[in-house]
């Protein structure tokens, strides 16, 4: 199936431009590219964050803020619902492109990754895309420069005028929301890493508590990660053998990592601020539920840690 990932995302980014005042975002021209600032020099907000998350997912998923909490800790929850989780999460939302240009750094998500095809997963899943325009979201505290735009356009083999980006830092309201909206994506990424048969996946939902924004970068990274690692719950519908689910399921939640149980900000500091020194098994939801459509059985793995979420969120 061709999902036209960039076409779907472009419609949402164009809406951000058209409704910039209402959304408290600022579109700017950088080297010919359209860049929407959703939280760096402008306040952004919840609606901007929801649109950022949907752009990351190529508009293949519904993203909502709903009342809820974890046990007796009440807080808004970011809920994601998707019938095409492999394409939406792995083909678009996963932050698989590190953009590092002359001192500038950002983690890039969105369907422009499918055009660049820099990651082996696109050939593996058949999700590489040809498009005459590219759309991406970058998690960063600085607006990209013309040099960064040229770098992206060169990798995408497109004119800069055909590139549209939305940017926000983790510590902003919109930026923290789009990060927390990755609960389902982290489960899909772990499934790919442990060679779970992705063709058995039918649909998925995920929820995680909305992390309070934090002006300190490490604090913001800690809160958004803790929201998923200790407060994230994912349910995935599959058609598979129960024996396979029982074998692979324990490897999916963050409890599979020896680092589980420590606030992420502390783990991050101990790793010297290097994500790649952290056990990759930690980047997963706290609880994963697999519902087998073939047998009708439910398999539940991991656990939530409401006290750790409360401690991380400052209350």
pLDDT in tens, 27-58: 999 999 999 999 999 999 999 999 999 999 99
More confident residue, 1 or 249: 249
For range 287-297, the mean pLDDT: 98
What are phi and psi for residue 264, nearest 5 degrees?
A: -65, -35
Which CATH number belongs to the domain containing residue 29 in this structure? Answer: 3.30.1030.10
Model confidence at 73: pLDDT above 90: no
Calpha distance 118→154 (Å, rounded): 12
- Tokens representing 112? 């422009």
Model confidence at 1: pLDDT above 80: no
Calpha distance 42→175 (Å, rounded): 12
Model pLDDT, residue 246: 98
Say what percent of the chain tops pLDDT 90: 92
For range 173-193, the mean pLDDT: 97
Single pTM value for the model: 0.96
pLDDT band at 215 (very low <50, low <70, confident <90, very high): confident
For range 131-147, the mean pLDDT: 97
What are phi and psi for residue 16, nearest 5 degrees?
A: -60, -40
Model confidence at 209: pLDDT above 80: yes
For range 247-261, the mean pLDDT: 97
What are phi and psi for residue 160, nearest 5 degrees?
A: -60, -30
For range 109-134, the mean pLDDT: 94
Model pLDDT, residue 32: 98
Calpha distance 291→48 (Å, rounded): 32
The domain in which residue 52 lies consists of 5-312
Model confidence at 121: pLDDT above 80: yes
The tally of domains found in the chain comes to 1
pLDDT band at 242 (very low <50, low <70, confident <90, very high): very high
- Tokens representing 191? 């499934």
Supply the DSSP string of 223-234, one letter for each residue. Answer: HHHHHHHTT-EE
Strands (E) located in 123-200: 134-139, 163-168
Model pLDDT, residue 38: 98
Model pLDDT, residue 315: 61
Strands (E) located in the chain: 26-30, 33-37, 61-66, 69-70, 73-74, 77-82, 97-101, 104-109, 134-139, 163-168, 201-209, 233-238, 287-292, 298-302
Q: Is the sign of the CA dihedral 282, 283, 287, 289 positive or negative?
A: negative
């Amino acid at each position: 199936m061709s999902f036209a990932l960039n076409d779907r995302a472009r419609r949402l980014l164009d809406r951000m431009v058209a409704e910039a005042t209402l959304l408290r975002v600022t579109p700017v021209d950088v080297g010919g590219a359209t860049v929407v600032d959703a939280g760096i020099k402008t306040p952004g907000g919840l609606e901007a964050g929801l649109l950022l998350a949907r752009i990351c997912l190529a508009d293949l998923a519904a993203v909502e803020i709903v009342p809820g909490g974890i046990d007796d800790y009440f807080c808004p929850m970011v809920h994601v619902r998707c019938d095409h989780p492999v394409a939406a999460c792995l083909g678009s939302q996963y932050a698989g492109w590190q953009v590092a240009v002359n001192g500038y750094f950002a983690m890039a998500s969105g369907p422009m990754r499918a055009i660049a095809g820099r990651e082996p997963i696109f050939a593996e899943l058949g999700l590489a895309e040809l498009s005459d325009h590219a759309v991406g979201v970058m998690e960063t505290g600085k607006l990209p420069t013309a040099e960064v735009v040229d770098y992206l356009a060169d990798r995408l083999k497109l004119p800069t005028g055909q590139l549209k980006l939305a940017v926000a830092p983790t510590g902003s309201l919109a930026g923290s929301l789009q990060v927390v909206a990755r609960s389902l994506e982290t489960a899909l990424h772990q499934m790919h890493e442990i060679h779970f048969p992705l063709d058995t996946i039918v649909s998925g939902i995920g929820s995680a508590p909305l992390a309070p924004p934090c002006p300190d970068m490490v604090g913001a990274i800690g809160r958004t990660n803790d929201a998923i690692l200790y407060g994230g719950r994912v349910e995935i519908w599959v058609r598979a053998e129960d024996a396979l689910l029982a074998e692979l399921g324990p490897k999916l939640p963050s409890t599979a990592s020896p680092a589980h149980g420590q606030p992420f900000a502390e783990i991050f500091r101990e790793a010297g601020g290097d994500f790649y020194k952290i056990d990759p098994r930690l980047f997963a939801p706290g609880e994963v539920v697999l519902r087998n459509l073939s047998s009708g059985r439910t398999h539940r793995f991991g656990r939530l840690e409401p006290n750790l979420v409360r401690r991380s969120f400052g209350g």
